Chains A and B, each alone.
Chain A
Amino acid sequence: MNLKLLSIILFLPIQVLAKEELKVLTYGSFVSDWGPGPNIEKEFESICNCNLIWNTAESSGALLSRIKLTKNNEGYDILLGLDDSLIKEAEENDLFLEHKIKDFNLDIDWDNKFFTPFDYGYFSFIYDQTKLSSPPQSFDELASRNDISLIIMDPRYSTPGLGLAKWINQIYQEDTVEYWKSLQDQIVITSKSWSDGYGLFLEGESDVVLSYNTSPAYHSLIEDNSNYQALNMIEGHAIQIEVMGILKNANNIELARKFLEFSLSENFQQYIPQGNWMYPVIDLQNSQSDFYSAAPKPKSLEQIFPSFSEKESWISNWAASLNE
């Protein structure tokens, strides 16, 4: 038999059987054993006949930096977990493809041709109600309460930290720097990541920690501990929407689009509330009623999408308060 023909016959089944791969870059906790990633992977692989390969960057704050640095030479198809405050910067760097998905049926307002949202939450401050009996109800009150110690995240390196900078900026506008200065004495730790900071709070290093209003839901539903509560600020709470997008030099664009569509379906979204401890972007009040009860939504501030320079100005305002 002709050798060429033989090799084609022998290798053809392997080619046919070889599955497509979808490489997703995300942050570590999303794909940890206790995060939503493993379940999402199983769901998607059962419908796509493909292999979903996760890779992680140091933190959500590091995701965009990695792609900017490497120009996606590492060959990822999707970046999952970008903060909405970084969307404009990502667009300015021309790193993503249009997703071409129409007909969003979401629980939030959304209109962006490059990114699709997959969860959202509201920044808040978490406290232990057994230790803090009269929690502050506004930012002004928080700053005036010298008895309250605070853990925040560094706005340069952490998306919650950046979220707080955005939040304060939205409320105080020109007086942002002054406000930050009034808060500095109470900040006992400025951690590099949300998980560091939150962990230190749980260890008793502060009275209050910057986090998400959904954090108490984890304690009450998983630990059966309702001591932890979120402050309800009368000014309103800044929203954070986490998004994903298809990278420009993705190897498998069609599969990536399929994944984005999948992420807006219940099969993906069902794992968000008690996996990522954020709100799903579709209405799951019926199936996730425990979660919604444990994490009532606060008053929301307007959603904003800053440019790179606007984002930098929030950070500069925070940095200016440190120099005192």
Chain B
Amino acid sequence: MLKLNNLSCSFDSFNTNFNIEIAHTGIIGVVGRSGSGKSTLLNLIAGFIQPHSGEIFYQNSFLNDLEPSQRDLSILFQNYNNFDHLNVFENVILGIDPQMKKTPSNYKITRDILKKLSLDIDIDTPVNLLSGGEQQRVSIARCLIRNKSMLLLDEPFNSLDPGLRRGLYEDVLMMTKKTPNLLTLISSHLIDELRKITNAFIFLHQGKIIGNKILSFKELSTNKFFKEYLK
């Protein structure tokens, strides 16, 4: 379970205050206008932003004092999820071996995970030579091998074309199905595409979670802020 109690931070004139309890696993879409706090929410959970007040609990652990690497989660961003000058193997194996040792077991792990994601590429290929979709799959592969129970995706596919995005959303869906206890929070402003993989949403408006709970699309549709957002 993920619990946020009055989790707040502020910069410039933007203030947030997040309250929610997420008991289930699976995919949850985080939606809202630009500047509503989607990235801030994910970065707070990941530990890259320190809250001014409030608490984060995950699976009964108090996360506030934990470093990002100590939290049971992985995170991907819209861009720059790989080290461009490293190759596929190095980018993937970084997830479990920061030294990127070229051992047979590491090679096997890498090949296996890429196979799972239907990524048929030479693992010595420099990542910057891959297409956008392949690069994001490589970063997903790294997340998968880390075997964490929470995955945060901060608008990871927005810069890709619709066909590629569809494919990557399917990968996320596949991942969730194969990892029963995986909680995935995926933020995007492309709600129609998110609806294809989930019916659970967190809607943010001006730094707050509307309803302080997960809402279905139907429930969201009745909310006046959401209606304005859809316009």
Question: Is there any pair of Cβ atoms, one from A and one from B, under 8 angstroms apart in the complex?
Answer: no
